[in-house]
Structure 1
Amino acid sequence: MRSIVGLTAVVCAATLYLYILSSYLPTRQLPPREKVNEVTLNPDQNVENDFIVEEQSRLKFPSDLEELRGLSEFLQFYKKEHPGYVLLLFCSAYLYKQAFAIPGSSFLNILAGALFGPWQGLMLACSLTTVGSTMCFLLSQAFGKRYITNVFPGKVSMLQKKVEDNHKCLLFFLLFMRFFPMTPNWFLNMSAPVVNIPLSSFIFSVFIGLMPYNFICVQTGSMLSELSSLDDLFSWARLLQLLAIACVALLPGALIRHYSRTHLQLQGLDKNEVTRKSQ
């Protein structure tokens, strides 16, 4: 009971913080009132309040590419006057999703590329992924070890056995699990303390293992933000860029897979088998 109360308190506090941060926006310079009133039906209406209501309604987690593009355009415009606020808001939202294992981090990775560029966005996404996953690890260690074992007994026992079989090369095993996720990343984050994976190995495997995935998402966001039409996407320059992104992302996975064939014990670690045994 104490663990449920503690976890609930952490979730409520984090949710309240994110709500306050996204609700009380810093002031933004508005266009001249006479120019804005030219496109309004009522020249006496409160234009500034209308801007604030519209901005607050757009600050939400995107659920599809259309919402992502609208949020990206809004934050890019807002970032010109308040870059610190946009960075704080993005980091807070990203850590919130990662810490509580909420799906949808791929949209935020794409948003990172659109807002901060390909390389700054990549380092930001990798750092936030690592910090957020570590927060999930610590929350699970503090509040959820017993519940995770009870809810996912088959998955936990399978992962425990593979960790023990590969304890001599545990780091490469964790990298393999990140490059080729036979179980979801959110489950690895929550179950790592349950199966006694050291925090140092966990942190390194998250930062390195998810870098190709983050790289693809961030590069996609950076490229989409620069497109003015679909014709730009099929230009030779863009096609070569996509090919280079694919090669860079696939190379680490190929090396890890080659190493795993001779050094790792992976027999029985199949997604369908794990799922079937956990039912």
Structure 2
Amino acid sequence: MRSVAGLLAVVAAATFYLYLLSSFLPPGPQRLGAEIEDGEREEDAGEARDRGLKFPSDLEELRVQAALLRFYRAEHASYVLLLFCSAYLYKQAFAIPGSSFLNMLAGALFGPWEGLFLACVLTTVGSTLCYFLSQAFGKQHVIRLFPDKVALLQEKVEENRSSLFFFLLFLRLFPMTPNWFLNMASPVLNVPVTMFFCSVFIGLIPYNFICVRTGAVLSEISSLDDIFTWARALQLLAIACAALLPSALLRRCAHSRFQLDGLQSNGMRPHHKST
């Protein structure tokens, strides 16, 4: 019970901090009638302010939140950066789904390269915070809630202990097990935190690259119809190919290097029909 109470206290404190940060917005830019950064106009930012700040869950909400944050970033770049980093770490630390939309938001706000660097750093730091929270408060609960998945993953980690870092990279590059579960289970599996940190940073670069570049592309269009053009389609295809090529090469040698028998794409043992 003490572990649950401690975790709830951490969640409550982080939630209160994020609420205060998002509720007391600084004054907007003074030149409301003029175009502001990236061509956003006052009416676009006004629509976003009416809806308020929240985690985006679809492309429409992503557009609205990007408009609001670009509006404030014109004169409050430090505040927007602090707010974005805090929201990203909150999601990662507490294993809340939806990082892909925040990655796309990073591309829309900060551009493809700065956004990629930011996404990689925040993903790694947030995942490491999740690691420490699980280590401090949740190891026994992870085992209790997911006994089969933990047992299978423990078996695979021990079988691949001699090449553990590359095995962890493989798990990050391919959906053998969800990233949020791997973050929480790593302390149970006795994965060293330095190895965990490096495997997250390197292993999620292709995923972050695709999301951030997609967000940068989507920020340049005025409607969803603009996505379905040959130029945009080819650009998105090139992004995907560039990011997935290293993954494809690693996957080709994975089955000869790693012991993966019984580990399926959802991290569970395959089901066998009874005879």
Q: TM-score range by the shorter chain?
A: 0.7 to 0.9
How far apart are the structure 2 equivalents of 1:233 and 1:54? 22
Alpha-carbon distance, 1:29 to partner: 3.7
Aligned 8 A contact 2:150 2:185 in 1: yes
* TM-score of the superposed pair, with normalisation by structure 1: 0.87
The superposition leaves residues 32-89 of structure 1 with CA deviations (integer Å, 9 ceiling, x where unpaired) of 8xx9xxxxxxxxxxxxxxx999737421111221111111111111110111111000
How far apart are the structure 2 equivalents of 1:73 and 1:54? 7
The answer for the alignment partner of 1:158 in structure 2 is 152
How far apart are the structure 2 equivalents of 1:23 and 1:53? 17
The reply to whether residue 219 of structure 1 matches residue 199 of structure 2 is: no
Pairing of 1:89-168 with structure 2 (within 5 A): 89-168=83-162
Aligned 8 A contact 1:111 1:221 in 2: yes
Compared CA separation, residues 120 and 273, structure 1 to 2 (3 A): closer
The answer for the alignment partner of 1:248 in structure 2 is 242
Pairing of 1:27-42 with structure 2 (within 5 A): 27-30=27-30
Unpaired runs of at least 5, structure 1:
36-50
The superposition leaves residues 233-277 of structure 1 with CA deviations (integer Å, 9 ceiling, x where unpaired) of 455543442232122111111121122122100011114671678
How far apart are the structure 1 equivalents of 2:266 and 2:103? 28
The superposition leaves residues 190-248 of structure 1 with CA deviations (integer Å, 9 ceiling, x where unpaired) of 00000111111111111111111111110010001112356754555434422321221
How far apart are the structure 1 equivalents of 2:245 and 2:259? 22
The answer for the alignment partner of 2:21 in structure 1 is 21
The reply to whether residue 189 of structure 1 matches residue 183 of structure 2 is: yes
1:26 corresponds to which letter in structure 2? P
Compared CA separation, residues 273 and 237, structure 1 to 2 (3 A): closer
The answer for the alignment partner of 1:208 in structure 2 is 202
* TM-score of the superposed pair, with normalisation by structure 2: 0.88
How far apart are the structure 1 equivalents of 2:229 and 2:9? 51
The reply to whether residue 172 of structure 1 matches residue 171 of structure 2 is: no
The reply to whether residue 12 of structure 1 matches residue 6 of structure 2 is: no
Structure 1 segments of 4+ aligned residues over 6 angstroms from their partners = 51-54
Aligned 8 A contact 1:130 1:206 in 2: yes
The reply to whether residue 66 of structure 1 matches residue 60 of structure 2 is: yes
Compared CA separation, residues 136 and 56, structure 1 to 2 (3 A): farther
Compared CA separation, residues 56 and 191, structure 1 to 2 (3 A): farther
Question: Relative to structure 2, which stretch is displaced further, 123-132 or 69-78?
Answer: 69-78
How far apart are the structure 2 equivalents of 1:222 and 1:150? 41
Q: Secondary structure at the match of 2:189?
A: coil
Aligned 8 A contact 2:173 2:204 in 1: yes
Aligned residue-pair number: 260
Alpha-carbon distance, 1:13 to partner: 0.5
Unpaired runs of at least 5, structure 2:
34-44
Aligned 8 A contact 1:118 1:218 in 2: yes
Aligned 8 A contact 2:173 2:203 in 1: yes
How far apart are the structure 1 equivalents of 2:170 and 2:113? 24
Question: Relative to structure 2, which stretch is displaced further, 117-126 or 245-254?
Answer: 245-254
The answer for the alignment partner of 1:260 in structure 2 is 254
2:185 corresponds to which letter in structure 1? S
How far apart are the structure 2 equivalents of 1:177 and 1:276? 17
1:250 corresponds to which letter in structure 2? L
How far apart are the structure 1 equivalents of 2:67 and 2:255? 45
How far apart are the structure 1 equivalents of 2:10 and 2:17? 11
How far apart are the structure 2 equivalents of 1:230 and 1:141? 43
1:2 corresponds to which letter in structure 2? R
Pairing of 1:219-238 with structure 2 (within 5 A): 219-229=213-223, 232-234=226-228, 237-238=231-232
How far apart are the structure 1 equivalents of 2:121 and 2:62? 21
